[in-house]
Amino acid sequence: MSELLAEDLQEAAMQDDTRLRRLAPDEPANWPAALTGAATFTVLDTWSQVIHLKYRFPIHRMEAENVHQVTGILALTHVQHPVFGKYLTTSPFGSYGGFAFTSTKARDLLLAEAKLLAAELDVDYVNIRWLGTDEPAPDGWIQHPVYATYRVDLNPDPETLLPGYSSDHRNHVRKSQKKGFTLKVGHLELLDDAYEALAISMHELGSPYHAKEYLGELAHALGETLEFAVLYAPDGKLAGAGVFILQGKIATNLHANILRKYRSEYAGEFLYWKMIERYCEKGYQIFDLGRSLLGSGNETFKLKWKPRKEMLSYWYALKAGIEMPALNQKNPKFALAIATWKRMPAFLVRPLGPILIRGLA
């Protein structure tokens, strides 16, 4: 298989001056902003280094070049997990990204190299996750349309967004402002509270979560481009939290959760509206609410903000005999595990969570 893929690469390279190059592990990526912006923060060395240092996953970066100009970039994380298998993926622990190109030839070279790398490493599959609009998967790849992301176009005056919401949603946003919630937005000074709120809420949902050290290392690496937002109830108790990444004119929701007891009090509406106000006033053009499974409750909530729903291109190249993976909560195989996780005590969930989630990159 490797020899056939190598021949494909050579044939593609002969058609023009575009060449494929793998970066050395310690080589800084010197990529143009237009490509890194399209590939999101998950393609940056800062992100890759945190993933490598925290979870010891090898990172494989490659680029397509044409006359000393980079025309395509791809960063793949090599995940090896006893439960969730061996695979290569872009945007580890992110919604999408890690892949961008300016020409079909650059794209095809990168995808062929990804398949070659998969054969070399003997993984089960390669998963390319990116915001590919309606572009169909190329030959040899399968599109698995299960996720979308939801992008709100911002305005310097956030009040101009309200008329676009349904009357019920406007009413819920207004009610949320009268409940006595407070929101703090900051950096490492909020790490403890942000982690605690996220860990509790993820436990309630039946999902594992990272260790606090992971969030701290991300915050250190990304600096002021990462913001923690912590929501407090009127009595000062934690009600929810979020992690937001800033890149160019886009603010992205990486994680955001509300504790179960505060959801009926419109705490989610409070958190999201306050962040929308913040990013409108700071001049950001897009607030990416993050990915959700199609048909999920999360999707229903996000659609209330009248975003542009954009399908995510999740392209898979499967090893012979391997079925399409379904590493999400809709997989019926995980139903018992999710129910059990919800009932487990926190002193077991906290140390076990990072061990499990490392396989869900």
Could you report the per-residue pLDDT of 154-174, keeping only the tens digit for each?
999 999 999 999 999 999 999
First-to-last CA distance in the chain? 26
Q: What is the pLDDT of residue 3?
A: 53
* Cα four-point dihedral sign 98, 102, 104, 108: negative
Least reliable range by pLDDT among 7-16, 39-48, 220-229, 302-311: 7-16
Q: What is the pLDDT of residue 161?
A: 97
Per-residue pLDDT at 346 exceeds 80: yes
Nearest to 286 by CA among 244, 255, 314: 244
Taking residue 348's Cβ as centre, other Cβ atoms within 10 Å add up to 10
The answer to whether domain 2-145+312-330 and domain 149-310 are alike in fold is yes
What is the token pair recorded at 24?
């050395």
**Ranges of each domain in the chain:** 2-145+312-330, 149-310
Q: What is the pLDDT of residue 13?
A: 46
Confidence of residue 1 (pLDDT cuts 50, 70, 90): very low
> Which DSSP letter does residue 304 get?
T
Per-residue pLDDT at 198 exceeds 70: yes
69-103 pLDDT, tens digit per residue, is: 999 999 999 999 999 999 999 999 999 999 999 99
Q: What is the pLDDT of residue 240?
A: 98
Least reliable range by pLDDT among 267-271, 273-277, 335-339: 335-339
37-55 pLDDT, tens digit per residue, is: 999 999 999 999 999 999 9
Mean pLDDT of 110-123: 98
Confidence of residue 326 (pLDDT cuts 50, 70, 90): confident
What percent of the chain is predicted at pLDDT more than 70? 96
State whether residue 48 is helix, strand or coil.
Answer: helix
**Cβ 262 vs Cβ 233: under 8 Å:** yes
What is the token pair recorded at 243?
């992690």
Query: 2-145+312-330 adopts what CATH topology?
Result: Aminopeptidase (3.40.630)
Cα 2 to Cα 345: distance, rounded to the nearest angstrom: 47
Rounded to the nearest integer, the mean pLDDT of the chain is 94
Q: What percent of the residues of the chain are helix, what percent strand, and what percent coil, each to the nearest 5?
A: 40, 25, 30
Mean pLDDT of 130-151: 91
Q: What is the pLDDT of residue 10?
A: 53
Q: Which residues contact 190 (CB under 8 A, 6 or more apart)?
A: 184, 228, 229, 230
Mean pLDDT of 254-258: 97
Q: Give domain 149-310's CATH number out of 3.30.360.10, 3.40.630.30, 3.90.380.10, 3.40.50.620.
A: 3.40.630.30
